[in-house]
């Protein structure tokens, strides 16, 4: 089975399209799900922003941040509680939702509610996990491992398609460069698009400094816009941005999340770049 150059997710007015040739779709939300009230607050703000800018939205949040720098790192509200919140968010706002999965057993359970299953970068070569995710029939957003070249994603993509699921997004989030540093090679975007799947650029995890604060991950959120502009100018199907109303006090990934109040101006700028790139 061949992969899809165009992936459609969701239903009705909330349906979104991921395509290198069409207006980009936004994947956004807080790093981890903190509470029902917080999820609804962020979701409501994002819906307002995206409606005003006429951009498709997929709401993202993690029920469990399994890959923490230290044992004391906060991980989220857990699978069962998060699925209830995701279901209510979908009913209220109509948008598709995305979350990470970490084990084969989680795939089927999460797929009952969630529209896009996300494979974390460190797990992108875990064959059994990829096959289990593919067999749910849900769309997949697989993050390129920091340790892989973009052309290596050909084999990752093939694991999904050979398992009967062509609805795959390939997500760039930087490559390891020395200690505590990631770099984004914009050549990766057209290379991965050439493999036959829509490409998403993760603008917030690309500015991470893994383990950079000793007991937690650091980041340079001041460079999110710089990298996002470059990626959108190259041409991408989707943009992944984590956001929070108070990133400096967020339980995870605060240093690289975009303040919620900055999202309208940032997206307006990036959509202008997107229009030029796809003219």
pTM metric for this prediction: 0.94
Give a yes or no: residue 173 inside a domain.
yes
| Whether the predicted pLDDT of 243 surpasses 80 | yes
Residue with tokens 């997949």: 140
What pLDDT score does 66 carry? Answer: 64
Give a yes or no: residue 176 inside a domain.
yes
User: Helix 224-234 to helix 263-277 angle, to the nearest 10 degrees?
Assistant: 20
Give a yes or no: residue 73 inside a domain.
yes
pLDDT in tens, 250-265: 888 778 899 999 999 9
d(CA 254, CA 250): 5
From the number of C-beta atoms within 10 Å of its C-beta (0-12, 13-18, 19+), residue 198 rates as buried
Give a yes or no: residue 1 inside a domain.
no
* CATH number of the domain bearing residue 252: 3.20.20.70
65-81 in b/e form (b: 16+ CB < 10 A) is: bbbebeeebeebbebee
Could you give the residue ranges of the DSSP H alpha helices within 59-111? 79-93, 104-111
pLDDT in tens, 26-43: 999 999 999 999 999 999
Give a yes or no: residue 192 inside a domain.
yes
Q: In total, how many domains does the chain have?
A: 1
Give a yes or no: residue 194 inside a domain.
yes
Where in the sequence is the domain holding 138, given as residue range(s)? Answer: 6-278
Min mean pLDDT across 90-104, 200-214, 253-267 is at: 200-214
């Amino acid at each position: 089975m061949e992969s899809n150059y165009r992936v459609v997710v969701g239903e009705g007015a909330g349906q979104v399209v991921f395509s290198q040739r069409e207006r980009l779709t936004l994947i956004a939300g807080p790093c981890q799900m903190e509470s029902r009230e917080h999820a609804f607050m962020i979701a409501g703000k994002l819906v307002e922003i995206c409606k005003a800018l006429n951009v498709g939205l997929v709401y993202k949040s993690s029920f469990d941040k399994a890959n923490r720098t230290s044992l004391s790192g906060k991980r989220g509200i857990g699978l069962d509680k998060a699925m209830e919140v995701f279901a209510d968010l979908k009913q209220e706002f109509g948008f598709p939702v995305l979350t990470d999965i970490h084990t084969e057993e989680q795939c089927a359970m999460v797929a009952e509610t969630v529209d896009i299953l996300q494979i974390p970068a460190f797990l992108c070569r875990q064959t059994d996990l990829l096959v289990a995710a593919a067999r749910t029939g849900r769309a997949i957003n697989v993050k390129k491992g920091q340790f892989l070249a973009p052309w290596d994603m050909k084999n990752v993509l093939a694991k999904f398609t050979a398992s009967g699921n062509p609805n795959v997004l390939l997500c760039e989030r930087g490559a390891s460069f020395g200690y505590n540093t990631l770099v984004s090679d914009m050549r990766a975007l057209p290379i991965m698009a050439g493999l036959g799947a829509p490409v998403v650029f993760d603008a917030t995890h690309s500015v991470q400094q893994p383990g950079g604060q000793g007991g937690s991950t650091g980041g340079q959120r001041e460079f999110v816009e710089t990298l996002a502009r470059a990626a959108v100018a190259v041409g991408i199907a989707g943009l992944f941005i984590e956001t929070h109303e108070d990133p400096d006090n967020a339980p995870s990934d605060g240093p690289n999340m975009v303040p919620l109040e900055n999202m309208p101006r940032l997206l307006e700028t990036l959509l202008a770049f997107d229009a030029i790139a796809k003219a």
